[in-house]
Amino acid sequence: MTRKIIFIGGIHGVGKSTLCTKIFDLLGIKSYSASKLIQSVSNLEFPLDKKIQGINKNQDLLITAVEEHVNPNIYCLLDGHFCLLNQNGEVSDIPLTTFTELSPAATIVLTNEPGTIYTQIKDRDGTEMDIKKITAFQDRELEYSKLVSQALNIPWLTDNPVRGVSHIQSFINDVIREDT
């Protein structure tokens, strides 16, 4: 069963939450944050350095939270990641089984200039991430997001929301239209 979820991926600081707010204002589509959903069913606190312990366990919690909190009959956006930094600071793919269980209708991965991402993370979290790490992280997020979408045989879009959201808005409208 495909859920009415449009998965919005991208690395930390790329602008996923900002995009979700804009899409809500334009289309009235509610969004959920994967990290907030995980926190809704656990006591987890996520570190500012973005190094995550127990990535696989967290994804199991995400599936549980989606089942508890997300209406399967109404389209929504799910703001999350295709990759995370593990406890050693290495880029790690989210298991494909997570996406299989989430069963999104489509995926969108956001990209931005590494320098812009660096600034946004520093301004938002007060932490600094190496530009080379940001670049490698974003490259893997982009590559893996495409592989996930191909494996699930669902529409995939990549875009930089700095250019505006009209292309993303059209993509979302097309996904919803295809379902009706």
3-class secondary structure per residue, the chain = CCCCEEEEECCCCCCHHHHHHHHHHHHCCCEEEHHHHHHHCCCCCCCCCCEECCHHHHHHHHHHHHHHHCCCCCCEEEECCCEEEECCCCEEECCHHHHHHHCCCEEEEECCCHHHHHHHHHHHHCCCCCHHHHHHHHHHHHHHHHHHHHHHCCCEEEECHHHCCHHHHHHHHHHHHHHC
Q: How confident is the model at residue 94 (pLDDT cuts 50, 70, 90)?
A: very high
**pLDDT of 59 strictly over 60:** yes
**pLDDT of 27 strictly over 60:** yes
Share of the chain above pLDDT 90, in %: 74
Q: Which residue has the higher pLDDT, 68 or 56?
A: 68
Q: What is the pLDDT of residue 1?
A: 65
Across the range 51-65, mean pLDDT stands at: 82
pLDDT digits (tens, 9 = 90+) for 122-167: 998 888 889 999 999 999 999 999 999 999 999 999 999 888 899 9
Q: How confident is the model at residue 104 (pLDDT cuts 50, 70, 90)?
A: very high
Q: What is the pLDDT of residue 50?
A: 61
Q: What is the pLDDT of residue 146?
A: 98
Q: How confident is the model at residue 79 (pLDDT cuts 50, 70, 90)?
A: very high
Q: What is the pLDDT of residue 109?
A: 97
